[in-house]
Amino acid sequence: MTIASPTCPPDRRTAPNVTQLRPASIVVLTAGGPLAPIVVNGLVNSLAGSGRTLTVIEEHPETKTAIIRRRAKLLGWTAALGQAACGVLQRALSGQRKARLDAIVKQHRLDTGAGFAVPVHRVNSVNSDACRDLLKSLAPTVVAVYGTRIIKAETLSAVPVPFINYHAGINPKYRGQHPGYWALASGDAAHAGVTIHLVDAGVDTGHVLYQAPVTFTPDDSIATYQYLQAAYGLPLFARAIEDALAGRLNPRAVDLPSRQWFPPTIWEYVAIGLTRGVW
């Protein structure tokens, strides 16, 4: 892939002059992270060209401190600190899973390139005025969402188009974070999968466009689940965006119990691993 120079200024938190932007058929909202290049490159490879234009808006991710404080307000400090400790443990063990990650990338031909052959604009938050101004100037037909913070109603209403999210779990039963892990930890492998859905003001509560189960191997763990899910989910994500471009979206409600999940605490993770063999 030929990598074009990004059109954004070097300061991650500074948006470009929106009066100079060209309209885009597809805008991708993301917060970066290890899986973002795979998702963005997958969409570029599937959808760019044929008169379409694709532009990325990348928000500055929340700091670890901000995330811990936000979770503490929701769940209490004990849970928030336990989740942070689990994250540290997972990063320490990630090297042991490199062979499996490499195998997934190779088998499914995932594009991990760090640069994108499309314009990239960076903003402080998807909920900022800068992001909303960008969306209005780009005037997309559809907005694709991956890995951002919860998008507020003001941003969702900035442009009168569908916002479509990729979620690494089966909604509404496994909304939130690490849904594949929690499905397996709950003995519910039938509901370990991916969902493509419309975005509303809730947390993964929008109507479903596509869903698919994902089959994991004994070599998979919390460090690899989402990479394999991306391999299954990207074709569905691209299909939903194609549907939006063609005006044929068919959203539906799914009759399942609804629950929002959070990252495991370190003691939950160890206990589940030792008793259920899910790591």
Q: Is residue 271 part of a domain?
A: yes
Q: Is residue 5 part of a domain?
A: no
pLDDT at 31: 93
DSSP symbol at 260: E
pLDDT at 92: 80
pLDDT at 22: 62
Q: What are phi and psi of 45, to 5 degrees?
A: -65, -30
Q: Strand, helix or coil at 55?
A: strand
Q: Which residues touch 39 (CB under 8 Å, ≥6 apart)? A: 28, 30, 146, 147, 166, 230, 234, 237
pLDDT at 21: 61
- Per the structure, the count of domains in the chain is 1
Torsion of CA 212, 217, 223, 225, to 10 degrees: 0
Task: Provide the domain limits for residue 162.
Answer: 18-276
Structure tokens at 207: 């109507």
Cα separation, 170 vs 80, whole angstroms = 24
23, 169, 180 from 184: Cα distances, Å: 43, 11, 6
Identify the segments of the chain with pLDDT beneath 50.
1-15, 19
pLDDT at 114: 82
Structure tokens at 104: 């997934």
Is residue 227 within 8 Å of residue 208, measured between CB atoms? no
CATH number at residue 225: 3.40.50.12230
Q: Is residue 3 part of a domain?
A: no
Q: What percent of the chain is helix, strand and coil (3-state, nearest 5)? A: 40, 15, 45
Q: Is residue 4 part of a domain?
A: no
Q: Is residue 109 part of a domain?
A: yes
Q: Is residue 8 part of a domain?
A: no
Q: Is residue 91 part of a domain?
A: yes
pLDDT at 174: 97
Q: Is residue 167 part of a domain?
A: yes
